[in-house]
Structure 1
Amino acid sequence: MADLHLSVDRTAGGITGQIARELREAVRQGRLAAGERLPASRELAGDLGLSRGVVVEAYEQLVAEGFLISRVGAGTIVAPAASRPSGVDTRDPLADADKPYYGRRSTSPDLGAFPRGRWLASIRNALATLPADALDYGDPGGVPRLREELAAYLRRVRAAEVGPDDLVIVGGVAQGLNLTVRALAGQLPEGRAGHDLNSFVDRIAHPVPPSGRIRLAVEDPTSLRQLPLLRGAGADLVAVPVDGEGVDVEALAATGAGAVLLTPAHQYPTGVVLSPRRRAELIEWAAGTGATILEDDYDAEFRFDRDPVGCLQGLAPDRVVLTGSVSKSLAPGLRLGWVVAPPGIAESIRLARSELDLGSPVLEQYALAHLIESSGYDRHLRRMRRQYRARRDALVRALADHLPEITVRGVSAGLHLCAELPVGWDEVPTSETAQACGLAAEPMGPMRSSPGPPALVIGFARLPVHYADQAVRALADALRG
């Protein structure tokens, strides 16, 4: 175990940052070698005469940045890729010709922070406790244990009105939206009881016509990546403008749409939250027209300035379909998501899974159920909220210091922020310059169907706190140069 010699100035404040900086430099300079084990947080805190929480937070910061690895039962060690042998150039990567790019997308989570130890423990629990029959083809709607845990979690955290029978496990929000749109467009078999041979033969004898379409309203601006998926599922898309209160419900009503897809907790990409007035108008519109609201709850766990607003589904469970996943909270590669829907739609999606792909991977479902049940999921989210808030604050502070002409829009939440540029600035070259300086930046223009002020969508989840100022300063120098 490494014997650390850290210099901490108690009069200067920012003790956590001092500890993290000292350890970071020790790793960079090769004084802490790859694989070397660090003292336990309690032991180091005792040596320094500090509270254990300060050391824990410093360790968590360096784990999030990729300098350290922390595993349950194995302690904290120096990450193999972080340490450099002595004599190797330790200049900041921003000074190199090959600029780093922290995150391929503005909504990418920090994959280095995936809770490998807790996930491994959950996988081991599943393998050790599951009977052999549980590994057979399961319920295409999802493992009952996971549906129970998720339903309880969504009731507790998102104020949803949901039971296990209303919830279907899917391969991420993309599949959930695809199947929901197909169900609304009449392309899926209607939910009905019976899964025996007679009901199967009946569905073959009376197939669902594949040509159904539905008029679906989407927010303007919105994510471009989901539009081809929605059109392919049977949606004729119509754009509805978003302002400072969220979607314009009066404009929505004028479209004649039978459904609308929204991100009300943290609109992508503007970052605004649907106001209470608009929430009431939206529910009234859906109830009066018989329309369906598709609620994409993609990053609702990460609200930093206050508790997140409850989901729309809890207000009108008969009119709202709630979709969510672990893609932002854990990792996109797990491909685990859920749909909470009224009984008819939920059963249609369940039947579709039984006839298309036989459901989601079973072992991973049991692992997620154990992670939630053991409170490991909640602990991970609490840790990542601290990390993401610190990274967002660092980025906002750097923009204010070096590019004060840029205005940050939206609430303190999520994995991205909206940076409104001065009139006359060109989004595309500015975003390319930002990417060259290490920022996960995308121009907002292509996400709009109508003109608007130039803006960038910048992700901060993978941007280390200590690089934010350097990256933005480099961007400012490049733009002014």
Structure 2
Amino acid sequence: MVKSQTNFSAGSPGDSGTEPGADLHVELRGPRLREGLTQALREAVRTGRLSPGTRLPPSRSLAADLGVSRNTVTHAYAELVAEGWLTAQQGSATRVADRTAVPAESSPPRTKAARRRATYGMEPGSPDLAHFPRAQWLTAYRRALNAAPDEAFGYGDALGQETLRTALADYLARARGVYAHPQRIVICSGFHHGLALMARILKARGARAVAVEAYGLDLYRNLLTDAGLGTPPLGVDAFGARTDDLSAVREAAAVLLTPAHQYPTGVALRADRRVTAVDWARETGGLILEDDYDGEFRYDRQPVGALQGLDADRVVYFGSVSKSLAPGLRLGWMVLPEELVPEIVAAKGHGDYMSSFLEQRTLAEFITSGAYDRHVRAMRQHYRRRREQLVSALERRAPAVRVTGMAAGLQALVELPRGTERSVVRSAARKGLAVSGISQFLHQEEGHDCQVPVLDGLVVNYAAPSDSAWTGALDTLCAVMP
């Protein structure tokens, strides 16, 4: 039995130079070297480890790496060329044949239950990613990188980069009415990360439950229940969450709210209900967890300020760039009551391992340069036009439905005639349109009655389709309406 292995350099497709490319592990097994090498290379091509067009090393170099004769490599190459796995021309490198394909068994099996891939996506949760400000972000990135001191490349402060916390403190106070001293801000990788930290803290403090809005994302409810917390629902109506019912939810140590723009019904929390929530927190020692979901995007008036401004010591404010820029940046923040900062820092860890320091410093530069404000204003106009086009098209082509909620955010609730939601969602899927029914957001918990209307409707994300896909998505949506 002969066994040999090495890493040799295989050039990338289109590379005509002589410098080595990426390493590739080759293991030779069997009693004969030539057969072992031939089989090893054939398997590397067959499984896709050597992709079509990849340049193989010269026979002399590979022979030296493997400790075999050059003839062994030459004969292996010749056999694979004859079989069609490789190509070779006089004066040119030996390459993986372009027509070589990975066999079907290496691909995921197809099943009858496999869903058709949507042509258009109007499910909530994503902004228009095609409008990400690439050039402006790159400019900010370069400035941030050039200005970064050497120590910035270390693990960093668990609070997050001070440059970003300082920039956010100014922006949030100015744009969202948040009391946000830099020492009260903790950078996280998004709302999900921040809420997970808070759930851990609440559980450690002995909390039994966090009240949630009866309509909301199950992703966040599941995060709370995974931490061992109950999630009693609060009713939601045309004026937002029924915060006057908080006094009846005696086990709740906190309440999770989306006051600026309730997700997904699209209404704002009325002023008196904001005050009621704050009064409840003061009287019980509870906390308000404020998810400022797409709070910057209000189209009929100036955005409503954050609830946190009413009492910075009883409200934990969450924000992120997931809707204003892109979720892939994985940048968010928490503005905390002072007493919670040490506990969150301990929960997060002694070093900031969740968000890249370069992305943090780039966002700081993006904010302080004014580029963030300009981008938000531009997207506010873009999304307002989209919403107006949605409303106008449905009024003309689908008079049996109506768009409800504020002129705000990235999605709208389209109310349907009673009993039609499931059939409309299925019809949309058959036509290649992905939409979400409002029923999937409804949360009801045994033992907790709440006043909540059971609706039929679609939560339509008018922000997500690119400009080129928007007309087709809108036409398809109108076509499936009852």
- Common fold by TM > 0.5: yes
Q: Partner amino acid for 1:452?
A: V
Question: Is the aligned partner of 1:431 residue 2:462?
Answer: no
Aligned with residue 376 of structure 2, among 371, 377, 381: 381
Aligned-residue CA RMSD in angstroms?
Answer: 2.1
Q: Note if 1:173 corresponds to 2:194.
A: no
**Cα displacement (A) at 1:453:** 2.2
Letter of the 1:234 counterpart: G
Q: Which moved more, 1:268-277 or 1:431-440?
A: 431-440
Give the aligned residue type for 1:430.
V
Report what 2:168 is aligned to.
Answer: 150
Q: 8 Å contact 1:147–1:164 — kept in the other structure?
A: yes
Paired residues of 1:418 and 1:455 also in contact (CA < 8 A) = yes
The structure-2 alpha-carbon separation of the partners of 1:356 and 1:130, relative to structure 1 and needing over 3 Å to count, comes to: closer
CA contact (8 A) 1:182 1:234 kept: no
Q: Which residue of 1 aligns with 2:69?
A: none
The alpha carbon displacement at 1:348 in A equals: 1.2
1:412 to 2:416 alignment:
no
Structure 1 residue 416 displacement after superposition: 0.4
Alpha-carbon distance, 1:428 to partner:
2.2
Asked if 2 retains the 8 angstrom alpha-carbon contact of 1:391 and 1:464, the reply is no
How far 1:469 sits from its partner (Å)?
A: 6.0
Q: Deviations over 1:356-381 (max 9, x none)?
A: 86453111111000000100111111
Q: How does 1:228-377 map to 2 (within 5 A)?
A: 228-256=222-250, 257-355=252-350, 358-377=353-372
Rounded to whole Å, the distance in 1 between the matches of 2:149 and 2:295 is 35
Describe the shift of the 1:357–1:169 C-alpha distance in structure 2 as closer, same or farther (beyond 3 A).
closer
For 1:167 and 1:285, locate their aligned partners in 2 and report how far apart those are by CA, in whole Å: 24
Offset of 1:292 from its aligned partner? 0.5
Quote the residue 2:119 is aligned against. 100
Q: Percent identity?
A: 44
Which residue identity lines up with residue 162 of structure 1 in the other structure? Answer: A
- The one-letter code matched in structure 2 to 1:147 is R
CA deviation after TM superposition for structure 1 residue 449, in Å: 3.0
Pairing of 1:117-266 with structure 2 (within 5 A): 117-186=135-204, 212-256=206-250, 257-266=252-261
Q: Quick one: distance in 2 between partners of 1:375 and 1:228? A: 37
Instruction: State the SS of the aligned residue for 1:185.
Output: helix
Larger CA deviation: 300-309 vs 127-136: 127-136
Cα offset for 1:344? Answer: 1.9
Amino acid paired to 1:255? V
Q: Is the 8 A contact 1:395 1:469 kept in 2?
A: no
Q: 2:209 is aligned with what amino acid?
A: R
* Structure-2-length-normalised TM-score: 0.71
Over 3 Å counting, the alpha-carbon distance change for 1:476 and 1:364 in structure 2 is closer
- Counterpart contact for 2:209–2:232, Cα < 8 Å: yes
Q: Aligned partners of 1:107, 1:403: CA distance in 2, in Å?
A: 25
Task: Give the CA deviation at 1:251.
Answer: 1.9
Which residue in 1 is equivalent to 2:128?
110
Question: Does the 8 Å contact 2:433/2:476 carry over to 1?
Answer: no
Match of 1:442 among 436, 439, 447: 436
Name the SS of the counterpart of 2:440 in structure 1: helix
Q: Which moved more, 1:437-446 or 1:152-161?
A: 437-446
Equivalence for 2:457: 455
User: Structure 1 residue 168: deviation in Å?
Assistant: 0.4
Structure 2 Cα separation of the partners of residues 296 and 98 of structure 1: 31
Please say which of residues 120-129 and 148-157 is displaced more in the overlay: 120-129
AA of the residue aligned to 1:228:
N
Contact 1:123 1:363 in 2 (8 A): yes
> Residues 439, 152 of structure 1: CA spacing in aligned structure 2 closer, same or farther, 3 A cutoff?
farther
1:207 counterpart residue number: none
Deviation per CA, 1:236-279, whole angstroms, max 9, x where unpaired?
11111101111112222211111100000000010000001111
- Structure 2 unmatched ranges of 5 or more: 1-115, 445-452
Aligned partner of 1:346: which letter?
A: V
Instruction: Provide, for residues 431-467 of structure 1, a one-character-per-residue CA deviation record: whole Å limited to 9, x for no partner.
Output: 2323455655201112113561211101000235686
**Alpha-carbon distance in 2 for matches of 1:171, 1:349:** 14
Structure 1 stretch displaced more, 117-126 or 347-356? 347-356
Rounded to whole Å, the distance in 1 between the matches of 2:407 and 2:433 is: 18
SS in 2 for 1:419: strand
Structure 2 counterpart SS, 1:333? helix
Change (3 A) 1:213 1:284: closer
Q: Quick check: 289-298 or 249-258, which moved more? A: 249-258
Residue of structure 1 in register with 2:64 after alignment? none
Please state whether the residue corresponding to 2:119 is helix, strand or coil. coil
CA distance in 2, matches of 1:317, 1:452: 34
Helix, strand or coil at the partner of 2:325: coil
**Match of residue 395, structure 1, among 371, 377, 390:** 390
Aligned-partner residue type, residue 364 of structure 2: A
Check 1:478–1:168 CA distance in 2 against 1; reply closer, same or farther (3 A cut): closer
- Unmatched 5+ residue regions in structure 1? 1-96, 188-211
* Structure of larger gyration radius: 2
Structure 1 residue matching 2:218: 3-state secondary structure: coil
In structure 2, do the counterparts of structure 1 residues 359 and 343 end up closer, same or farther at CA, with 3 Å as the change threshold? farther
CA shift in 2, pair 1:297/1:186, >3 Å: same
- The answer (yes or no) to whether the contact 2:281–2:288 under 8 Å persists in 1 is yes
Q: In the aligned structure 2, how far is the partner of 1:123 from the partner of 1:261?
A: 34
Contact 2:244–2:273 (8 Å) recurs in 1:
no
Distance 1:98 1:325 in 2: 29
Q: Which moved more, 1:356-365 or 1:392-401?
A: 356-365
User: Aligned partners of 2:130, 2:378: CA distance in 1, in Å?
Assistant: 13
Distance 1:359 1:443, change over 3 A: closer
* 1:125 Cα offset (Å): 0.8
Q: Deviations over 1:296-337 (max 9, x none)?
A: 012001111111111011101011000010111111111110
